[in-house]
Structure 1
Amino acid sequence: MTLDIRGSIKNTKLSTNPYVVFEELLSNAIDSYLIRKASDPHAPDMHVEVEVTFVPAGLDENQEDMIVSCQDNGCGLGDEQLKAFLTKDTSYKDDLSISGIGQCKGAGRIQFFHHFSELLLESTYPDESSFTERKLHYLEPQKQIEAENFSSTPANRGRTGTRITLKQLKPFVHARVMRGDELSSLFSASALKKNVLLTFLQRLIGLDSSLGEFEINFSSQHWKKDAQNSTLKRSDLPNVTTVETVTAEEYNPATGERVADPQNFKISHYKLDAKLYDLPKNSIALCAKSSPVKDITSRYLRSKTEQNNPVGDYHHIILIESDYLDLRVNEQRDDFECIASEFMPGDMFSPDGISYAAIYDAIDPVIQEMVVPADWKKETVLKVVSNHFGISEDMLRDTSTRIVYGDTPLAVAERVLKKYQERVIDETAEIMSLKDEITRSEPDSDDFREKINELSWKYTASLKNIDMANLSQLIVRRAAIVQILDLACGKNLVMQNVDSDARRKDERIIHSIFFPMRKDSSEVSDHDIWLLSEEYHYYDYIASDLPLSKLTWDDGSKIFSEDVDQEIQNILLKRADENGGKRPDIAIFSKEGSAIIVEFKAPGVQMDEHIGDLQEYAYLLNAKSGGKLKKFYGYLIGDSVNTLRVGGSWTKFPMGNGWFLSSALNDPESGVKLGETYFEILHFKDVIERAKKRIGVYQGKLNLKLDFQEEDS
């Protein structure tokens, strides 16, 4: 029998858990006691002494080394235990059939050799009618440990059990695993007790009376500091607050078929009064063999402050256990193997079983109820998700996306859109497959129209997924534009907060919200002329504050030409020449002969002084277009008007503060009818109100509760 130290270190990875040596020592001590108790029902209660001595590392007293010792009153290192100690992949404990002893591969003690260069083992065990003391002294660079390396001598009847002492902590372990932290802080007596309570809580409670009225004593000594002592007793163990069992299931998102057997997970919640339990942190962990393995606290308590302090005056320990996890814990017992992050359809390399995503789907709702702070409101996150990203509650339900404590609105939006993207990809692949089948089918076959119907339904379903996201984004974007316009009209944008001597740009700002200045629709496709009317968004050509002579259709041809009827041209050319430099703020044209003229007036400017501008623009555009533009819609928009100067021909709107005028466009000199006009004088607040009502219809259909104004306040 030989334990190959170098080979074992090579084939067993260094654990990332800084307390792994203490946990392995204590775990072995518990197992050893249970073995003794099974053969001797009258054995005394379990008693374990854990001692840590901090010594200077070399001659430099600014650096620490430590000596770790663990003394138990277990069964001792008899012949069977010696065989197990010298066997790397042992099944010794598996065959004992003793309640509370978990399956074991014998890899835990390899961490002793990873961490320390020297090991002393002293054990007393009953040998028939007498007692034997067995000792081992291991010191690097010794490569192997064999049975011959142990000394065995008769011993007087004394304390049965084993003491393991570890010396010379390896510097690279201190740097890599302990991250260079002060050893005397990490492994003080009080710190060790707290860590053991967190780590062994479930196992100690599960063993119930098997350990008796146990005591685990911790002591630490430092060459410069006072000694510390702390004890963990059975009476220190809290009662479990809540135990719930959930079932995790994995389904193929494309087919809806179950891809693995369902697995049960037990969630044990310990809610500990912070005044009674001075713990260093909250702990939520996936467990194996009743011991925490994978810490997932940050999934539910996102900040370090929340993780390391009481939540609502309580520390929380939540332990998740499952046979599924027991079978997949790695040798270092600091993670699990062969559990995928999420199930990927069609991935031939995907491990068998359910994924972490399926596990979290099952346990998240339960744990969130256990640890969420009282001041956290899901509705607050939902509101931002809806306002900023256009994600409605219907979309959350449709994609089975939950908002959990610690979620950012961006994270929620990303999860929803990712699920829609995956659906679209899967559905597109199905559509392409159907298209291929259709191209190979015969139009006079019986299944031809069946395939066509199937394709149309699948295509319609995919459009729903695509359009749901796109339409929601559009509505949220428009709501934001309306809010910005509202702020600009009230001079409440940050950029409008200028010194009194600076030139104001209020009209320019408002103008640019509708349509970028000095641009046309050949350059800009992203604009917001819909604020006036939805149909204007789709006119053939839009120009903003550009010289009329430069305006062209999308095919490059001029909108306006000098070719007009000679009889009318002589009259109009003079007016057109005089106003050659005059142009509307925004002009919108259709090839059917209609034009929309928009004229903005800065807040405070009297609109009644510019009523004639609309009529002038109509004459001008009619003349310049050679009479092709005959229908003119004009908007004069501002916030100030002297109602006494608005002529009697204007009609006031039943709702709002604006007026409208519909009349023929006649040449004032010849009386010849040139076209028709429809003009409106509008207040900015009326335009804003109209826009809000339009997007409100879509908001209602999408169940988007947008309220930028309330959020800003």
Structure 2
Amino acid sequence: MKYTENQFINSESLFWEDILRRDITKSGKPLQPIYEAFTNSLEAIKDAQKVNPKNLGEITIKINSTESTIADQYIFSSLSVIDNGIGFNDEQFNRFNNYRDIRKGYKNLGSGRIQYVHYFDSTIVKSIFEENDNFYEREFIISKKEPFIKNNAIVKHIVCTESKIKKSGTTVLFSTLLENIAVYNELNEKILKEKLIERYFHYLCYNRNKLPKIKIEFYVQSTLIGNETISKLDIPNTDKKDSINLDYFKKSSKGTLELADKNEIFFIDAFKIPKNILKQNELKLVSKGEVVEESYLSLENLSKNDNIKGNKYLFLVSSNYIDSNDTHVRGILNIPSKESFSKNIFSNNEVIFLEDIQEKVNGKIKELYPEIEKVKEKHQEEFEKLKEMFLLDDETAKSISISINDNESRILEKFYEAEAKKSAKLDASIKEKIDDLNSLNTNSPDYSEKLNNQVKELIKKIPLQNKNALSHYVARRKLVLELFQKILDKELDKVKNGGRIDEDIMHNLIFQQSSTDSENSDLWLIAEESIYFKGFSESKLKNIKLNGKKIFKDKFTEEEERYLKSLGEDRLTKRPDILLFPEEGKCIIIEFKAPDVNASEHLTQIDFYANLIRNYTIDELQITSFYGYLIGESIEDRDVRGRVTRFEHSYHLGYWFRPSEIVVAYDDNRKDGNIYTEVIKFTTLLQRAKLRNKIFIDKLGLSKTDINQG
């Protein structure tokens, strides 16, 4: 034996303190050490079966806990993973000690044991192995305690002697957690079984009929209080099996691809599994009995998160061809793409291409499960809705690759990334044309012709640049209009099943209550220019400020004070829904009424607010022109015109208006004002706004056509 007793295993090329601190840090999954040991046991059993195929394999996990002061709660003590695999002979032990040994498999480069030392004070391994018809027992410890780090090691070989037990196997004992971790204290046989099935689901599905015997035992105070097994009964059975034939290709004497005179069978195992068990749909290759977790193929008709009637799907593809193209690094396959094969001028092999596997497997899946094709069609419908919703350009859509696994956020990201690149190229092109103007020679006989040509090119490009920005602007408005329509149609969750559309819903859609940011509001729904006015939404009259100064007086005459506080009211605490100040001397007053409220009963409310503003604001703010909008849905013509008012009905545009009414000024120093008022239905408001936005959308389309023709 090459290892001595009590030998620290170190290497001159490694500095373990640095590796532990910076290279391989503590995993965010507390149970990772257990998973690492379980994986090692599966591999050890597989190695043992190469020597003795009759060895079915057995893994036992023992959880040891102690009682706590709280009933039915325990304190984790230790955990052991026991298998009857090949054991740690010199070769296996040497591989275990070699950090970044690629023979361990993809992403399994000897870093697993580092998680042992990150979570546990010490891990003791006792292993029996056979060599030259003799059995030996080896013991070693994995730890990052001070003596280990001082010797630049995390493994200490304790002893290796002849064994009286003539049966190979390994016991890994984890003891003394370095910190109290709740998941370990909560661990029992049922929880660990559930976590192991979740973690090894692909492996368990593929090896369902040849699993080793897996037992989990839970001990409290050294007394067995629960046990579980993982068997094929816990694993979903294959739903469907099928196969496909794929042709080999080779390079011709001219270097082009041509069919070779042979083909290969690929086997497909399909599993239909409840969505609460299988977290996402997967298509995986299988090499030499192991599921290759690194993705080589993708599902074309099913995204990872789709489910059909509560089920998700797992497809496992195996073939002698896949096995023969497994590299010495486990999990890395040497299956070429058409592009890589074509570029490799030295390759004369006969190969099956990854693209052909992808295409044929997905075609077979489509045959096996016609319902999946319907999901693809649904994805395409949703994609088209997304394009329409955000006015996404067809030309840009064709230029990007949209995967069925892309969610809406990722699709939009791809669109905007593509548009940003186009915009950057457009900017550079515009800059280039402007720079070209500098090179024009005014004395040249063809100067005018060249100048006209350059200007025409610029005129083509600048509208394109502006169109992209305008498209996003109009698309946002389109979404607001759709939301407006959904509210009126009672399609929102809040108002479904007989719920009420209250005034606040409409108010907040158009101009958020308690806001003064009219520029970023949706007041354009009422009038396009409204977003450019100084605005106040649901603000107390006495608190409103223009240019930093309150508009209402601080001091009033005795009579003014009496009136403002009369009848138990404080009139300057009233909150008009919306006030807008377009320019000096003018004010727009907007009031909303819930769709089920008779708006006609509130015809004088806007007049009242206009009167307060006309009479009780500061002297330097003389507002004389008012514009009022009373907006609701329950509006009856005879109610409006029959309330001793001068409202008229505009039959063509579907609203009521009062051309002018006096706003009385009580102070002799102030002249009377006037107010123009409209009474409008929400549906009329929506129709108007849709028409305005449609004009924008149509113009964008015309602009694109004109530019293409130009």
Please report the RMSD computed on the Cα atoms of aligned residues, expressed in angstroms: 6.5
Cα pair distance change 1:273/1:544, threshold 3 Å:
same
Cα pair distance change 1:320/1:68, threshold 3 Å:
farther
Partner of 1:471: 474
1:282 maps to 2:279: yes
**1:536-555 maps to which residues of 2 (within 5 A)?**
546=586
Q: Residue 494 of structure 1 aligns to which amino acid in structure 2?
A: E
Distance 2:62 2:71 in 1: 23
Distance 1:227 1:703 in 2: 73
Q: Which of 224, 227, 230 is the equivalent residue of 1:229?
A: 227
1:18 maps to 2:18: no
Q: Residue 688 of structure 2 aligns to which amino acid in structure 1?
A: A
Distance 2:532 2:43 in 1: 80
Aligned to 1:470, what secondary structure does the other structure show? helix
Q: Residue 272 of structure 1 aligns to which amino acid in structure 2?
A: I
Encode CA deviations 1:290-310: one digit per residue, 9 max, x unaligned. Answer: 47699xxxx9899xxx9xxx9
Distance 2:77 2:45 in 1: 26
Distance 1:702 1:320 in 2: 52
Aligned to 2:200, what secondary structure does the other structure show? helix
Partner of 1:606: 641
Cα pair distance change 1:395/1:195, threshold 3 Å:
farther
Q: Which of 165, 170, 179 is the equivalent residue of 2:178?
A: 170
Encode CA deviations 1:444-488: one digit per residue, 9 max, x unaligned. Answer: 58995776555444334323322322333455667888999999x
Q: Which of 218, 232, 239 is the equivalent residue of 1:220?
A: 218
Cα pair distance change 1:134/1:546, threshold 3 Å:
closer
Aligned length: 482
Partner of 1:346: none
Contact 2:400 2:418 in 1 (8 A): no
Q: Residue 469 of structure 1 aligns to which amino acid in structure 2?
A: H
1:494 maps to 2:511: no
Give how far 1:104 is off.
3.7
Partner of 1:85: 96
Encode CA deviations 1:364-394: one digit per residue, 9 max, x unaligned. Answer: xx99x979999x99979987997xx765796
Contact 1:417 1:469 in 2 (8 A): no
Contact 2:586 2:624 in 1 (8 A): no
Q: Which of 3, 6, 9 is the equivalent residue of 2:20?
A: 9
Give how far 1:16 is off.
1.2
Q: Identity of counterpart residues, as a percentage?
A: 13
Q: Which of 452, 458, 462 is the equivalent residue of 1:459?
A: 462
Cα pair distance change 1:657/1:205, threshold 3 Å:
closer
Give how far 1:76 is off.
1.1
Partner of 2:359: none
Q: Residue 464 of structure 1 aligns to which amino acid in structure 2?
A: K
Aligned to 1:163, what secondary structure does the other structure show? strand
Encode CA deviations 1:169-190: one digit per residue, 9 max, x unaligned. Answer: 1116x2xxxxxx34243x3222
Encode CA deviations 1:93-151: one digit per residue, 9 max, x unaligned. Answer: 36xxxxxx657421111111111112211111112021111112456333155997331
Contact 1:300 1:371 in 2 (8 A): no
Contact 1:420 1:466 in 2 (8 A): no
Q: Residue 42 of structure 2 aligns to which amino acid in structure 1?
A: I
Encode CA deviations 1:379-432: one digit per residue, 9 max, x unaligned. Answer: 79987997xx76579699578697989978x99878766764564345324422
Q: Residue 229 of structure 1 aligns to which amino acid in structure 2?
A: N
Give how far 1:66 is off.
3.1
Give how far 1:230 is off.
1.7
Partner of 1:152: 160
Cα pair distance change 1:22/1:293, threshold 3 Å:
farther
Partner of 1:594: none
Query: Can you give the 5+ residue segments of structure 2 that lack an aligned partner in the other structure?
Result: 1-8, 245-266, 296-301, 330-361, 491-499, 507-522, 537-580, 588-622, 629-634, 658-677, 702-710
Cα pair distance change 1:401/1:124, threshold 3 Å:
closer
Deviates more, 1:58-67 or 1:464-473: 58-67
Distance 1:696 1:370 in 2: 38
Encode CA deviations 1:55-96: one digit per residue, 9 max, x unaligned. Answer: 3699999762231111122211111122222222224x36xx
Partner of 2:430: 431
Distance 1:417 1:148 in 2: 56
Encode CA deviations 1:633-672: one digit per residue, 9 max, x unaligned. Answer: xxx7448xxxxxxxxxxxx97x98999xxxxxxxxxxxxx
Aligned to 2:229, what secondary structure does the other structure show? strand
Aligned to 2:639, what secondary structure does the other structure show? coil
Cα pair distance change 1:238/1:151, threshold 3 Å:
same
Distance 1:5 1:461 in 2: 59
Encode CA deviations 1:5-45: one digit per residue, 9 max, x unaligned. Answer: 6454233111112221121111111222232333x143411
Encode CA deviations 1:217-253: one digit per residue, 9 max, x unaligned. Answer: 22222349962222223564435568999xxxxxxxx
Partner of 1:531: none
Distance 2:430 2:422 in 1: 12
Distance 2:175 2:638 in 1: 82
Q: Which of 7, 32, 46 is the equivalent residue of 2:44?
A: 32
Distance 2:313 2:170 in 1: 34
Q: Residue 218 of structure 1 aligns to which amino acid in structure 2?
A: I
Distance 1:66 1:371 in 2: 52
Contact 2:525 2:685 in 1 (8 A): no
Q: Residue 53 of structure 1 aligns to which amino acid in structure 2?
A: N
Partner of 1:710: none
Cα pair distance change 1:37/1:690, threshold 3 Å:
closer
Q: Residue 200 of structure 2 aligns to which amino acid in structure 1?
A: F
Aligned to 2:146, what secondary structure does the other structure show? coil
Cα pair distance change 1:495/1:545, threshold 3 Å:
farther
Distance 2:175 2:65 in 1: 10
Cα pair distance change 1:411/1:133, threshold 3 Å:
closer
Q: Residue 63 of structure 2 aligns to which amino acid in structure 1?
A: V
Q: Residue 142 of structure 1 aligns to which amino acid in structure 2?
A: P
Distance 2:222 2:648 in 1: 82
Q: Residue 96 of structure 2 aligns to which amino acid in structure 1?
A: F
Partner of 2:670: none
Q: Residue 427 of structure 1 aligns to which amino acid in structure 2?
A: L
Contact 1:396 1:416 in 2 (8 A): yes
Distance 2:155 2:684 in 1: 93
Distance 1:686 1:478 in 2: 11
Give how far 1:154 is off.
1.1
**1:358-507 maps to which residues of 2 (within 5 A)?**
391=391, 397=397, 420=419, 423-440=422-439, 442=441, 454-474=457-477, 494=503
Contact 1:73 1:160 in 2 (8 A): yes
Q: Residue 141 of structure 1 aligns to which amino acid in structure 2?
A: E
Contact 2:474 2:696 in 1 (8 A): no
Contact 1:482 1:688 in 2 (8 A): no
Partner of 2:55: 44
Cα pair distance change 1:68/1:7, threshold 3 Å:
farther
Partner of 2:184: 183
Q: Which of 105, 109, 119 is the equivalent residue of 1:105?
A: 109
Partner of 1:75: 86
1:691 maps to 2:703: no
Give how far 1:165 is off.
0.8
Q: Residue 86 of structure 2 aligns to which amino acid in structure 1?
A: C
Q: Which of 134, 141, 144 is the equivalent residue of 2:146?
A: 141
Contact 1:134 1:151 in 2 (8 A): yes
Distance 2:527 2:111 in 1: 70
Contact 1:76 1:161 in 2 (8 A): yes
Encode CA deviations 1:522-571: one digit per residue, 9 max, x unaligned. Answer: 95699xxxxxxxxxxxxxx9989849xxxxxxxxxxxxxxxxxxxxxxxx
